[in-house]
């Protein structure tokens, strides 16, 4: 069965500092990988996704993520955080090419990011 682990429940970072959020997955084949962000009282917004190809993926809001097959990881990074980056971040994994490919996602438990002045 597929699973997603986000080891860090909560991270505090200073504004302007770099940020890295960890995500490890368990899946039998190469999955589709996603990072979503959720601001308080809002739904989830897609930051970036990896399907295939270049393992370094660029997303919105200055975020990037790197797929490392050998480590089953898909960590999210941002070189310099802004106060508006305070939110909860979810990693998700979905099936790759399947006969039905209906896009059922498994989400991690999320990482809450707090940005201090």
Partner 1 sequence: EADIYQTPRYLVIGTGKKITLECSQTMGHDKMYWYQQDPGMELHLIHYSYGVNSTEKGDLSSESTVSRIRTEHFPLTLESARPSHTSQYLCASSREDEQYFGPGTRLTVT
Residues that bind partner 1 (CB under 8 A): 4, 9, 32, 34, 36, 41-46, 49, 51, 90, 94-95, 101-105, 107-110, 112
CB of 8 to partner 1, least distance (A): 13
CB of 89 to partner 1, least distance (A): 12
Q: Which is nearer to partner 1, 14 or 98 (CB)?
A: 98
Q: Which is nearer to partner 1, 76 or 95 (CB)?
A: 95
CB of 51 to partner 1, least distance (A): 8
CB of 80 to partner 1, least distance (A): 26
Q: Give which of 16, 48, 21 is closest to 35, Cα–Cα.
A: 48
Written in H, E and C, the secondary structure of the chain is CCEEECCCCEEEEECCCCEEECCEEECCCCCEEEEEEECCCCCEEEEEEECCCCCEEECHHHCEEEEEHHHCEEEEEECCCCHHHCEEEEEEEECCCCCCCCCCCEECCCEEEEEEC
Q: Which is nearer to partner 1, 15 or 112 (CB)?
A: 112
């Amino acid at each position: 069965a597929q699973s997603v682990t986000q080891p860090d429940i909560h991270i505090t970072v200073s504004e302007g500092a770099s940020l890295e959020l960890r995500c490890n997955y368990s899946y039998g084949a190469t999955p589709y990988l996603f990072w979503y962000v959720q601001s308080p009282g809002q739904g989830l917004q897609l930051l970036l996704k990896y399907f295939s190809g270049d393992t370094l993926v660029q997303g919105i809001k200055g975020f990037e993520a790197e797929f490392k097959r050998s480590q089953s990881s898909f960590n999210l990074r941002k070189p310099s955080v802004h106060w508006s980056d305070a939110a909860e971040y979810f990693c998700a994994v979905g099936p790759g090419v399947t006969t039905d490919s209906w896009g059922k996602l498994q989400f991690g438990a999320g990482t809450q990011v707090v940005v201090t002045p």
